[in-house]
Copies of this chain bind each other. A is one copy, B any other.
Amino acid sequence: MIENVTLDISGERFQVFYRLRCEAQDVEAFARHICVEQTIEFPAELIGDDDIRRHVMGQVVSLAPLDDHSWRVVISYAVEITGFSLTQTMNVIFGNVSLMPGVRVDRLEFPDSFLSRFKGPRFGLQGLRDLVGEKHQQLYCSALKPMGLSADQLAQQAYQLALGEFHFIKDDHGLADQPFAPFRERVSRCVEQVAKANQQTGGSSRYVVSLNSPAEQIVEDAIWAKEQGVGGLLVPPGIVGFDMMRRLADDDRIGLPILCHPSHLGSYVASPDNGLSFYALFGQLARLAGADVSIYPNFGGRFSFTRDQCLEIVKGCTDPMAILKPIVASPGGGMNFSNVQDMVDAYGKDIMFLIGGALHKGDATVPENCRAFKAQVAALLRR
């Protein structure tokens, strides 16, 4: 038996909206089990009627059926048990229960005072619009590829895309520090070429570097890239960690837009009975971790997300979250001239379109394809 504990605790709690899959007779025990598993991880019968039980353990706020085998269970946790770090917040929300069948996190609800401990996105939608001078229409992003090209070849591609006045020209997420196009050489060349194109067009395209560096180097690489004139960072939190993304976003020496790449995150959304929802993962969590843009595979492309799931992501990026700015959802992965209509219909203009290979097809030049693409979207918007 643990002796009675008295704690100095605020009473402020945040809520996690879980979707539990189980039989009706099991749901209450399941919910209570999560309250213990995510906090004290200790036989509850060995805890007295003290502040550990009253405050540290999770509390079931509500419980309601979603269908015959699924339940909406809202559990609250004391803000103090997160130590106000993103790492421990993630741990409380889904750490051990990730290993249990039938637990999915649908939505997070934090008190404003908790969110005020986080800086969140530095730019957000409006900040990005201001940066690139695009007041109303969609933002455009393309990717430098394929892997295997030299730094000079990739930079030439960046030049072409910047001549086409795409706002963000990012490395493909597979570009790291390969011998074909070493990181520093690639960054230098691409920055140069985008600047050259901007001078010619009068535009303000930004080169976004793929930042998937080893843990020893990632911060240093980001600072160095900023000094070279890079215009944003493409960060894969599924590999480097959500908290590393937040750390890069928070650092005033870097101060660059963060584009969150979904590499390795697919398993979180692969099953309706496990993981995080599209809303919580690509929206809320990315935003809490400082992303300004959340990239995800568009419906109808070469991945499997549905239109509804994609629109959930948009909501997660833009629904009110206290001081955390709304961010920009960026559907990609197979966008082309033939599905523009569907995308404009679904997303409207507060979005970043991510178009890759399609700009390199056909007889037209890359800048021509860029302009044609933007013109096509603009025409659809005017209708």
Q: Which residues of B contact A274 (CB under 8 A)?
A: 266-267, 270-271
CA distance A20 to B306 in the complex (A): 21
Known: A146-B52, A241-B215. A263 touches B43 (CB 8 A): no
> Shortest distance in angstroms between A258's beta carbon and chain B's nearest beta carbon?
13
Q: Which residues of B contact A56 (CB under 8 A)?
A: 146-148, 180
Known: A56-B147, A85-B177. A95 touches B42 (CB 8 A): no
Known: A86-B214, A148-B56, A246-B215. A98 touches B174 (CB 8 A): no
Question: Does B5 contact A149, Cβ atoms closer than 8 Å?
Answer: yes
In this complex, which of A5, A148, A177, A212 has the most chain B Cβ atoms within 10 angstroms of its Cβ? A148
> In the complex, which residue of chain B has the Cβ closest to the Cβ of A273?
B270
- Interface stretch, picked from A158-166, A296-304, A318-326, is A296-304
Kindly supply a per-residue 1/0 record for chain A positions 212-239, scoring 1 wherever the CB is within 8 Å of any chain B CB and 0 otherwise. Answer: 1111100000000000000000001011
Within 8 A of B (CB), among A138-164: 143, 145-150, 153
CA distance A40 to B236 in the complex (A): 17
CA distance A300 to B172 in the complex (A): 44
Number of interface residues of A (CB under 8 A): 92
> In the complex, which residue of chain B has the Cβ closest to the Cβ of A270?
B274
> In the complex, which residue of chain B has the Cβ closest to the Cβ of A240?
B241
Contact of A275 among B52, B82, B212, B270 (CB under 8 A): B270
Question: Does A43 contact B213, Cβ atoms closer than 8 Å?
Answer: no
Within 8 A of B (CB), among A85-132: 85-88, 90-92, 94-101
CA distance A55 to B276 in the complex (A): 37
Does A344 reach chain B (CB closer than 8 Å)? no
Contact of A180 among B37, B80, B147, B176 (CB under 8 A): B80
Contact of A42 among B213, B239, B357 (CB under 8 A): B357
Does A268 reach chain B (CB closer than 8 Å)? yes
Q: Which residues of B contact A356 (CB under 8 A)?
A: 41-42
Q: Which residues of B contact A184 (CB under 8 A)?
A: none
Contact of A266 among B99, B143, B360 (CB under 8 A): B99
Sorted nearest first, the 4 A-B pairs with minimum C-beta distance are A98-B266, A40-B146, A241-B241, A95-B263
**Given A33-B302, A270-B274, 11 other A-B residues pairs in contact with their CB atoms under 8 A:** A5-B148, A46-B361, A81-B178, A88-B176, A91-B263, A96-B263, A96-B333, A99-B262, A99-B297, A99-B304, A239-B242
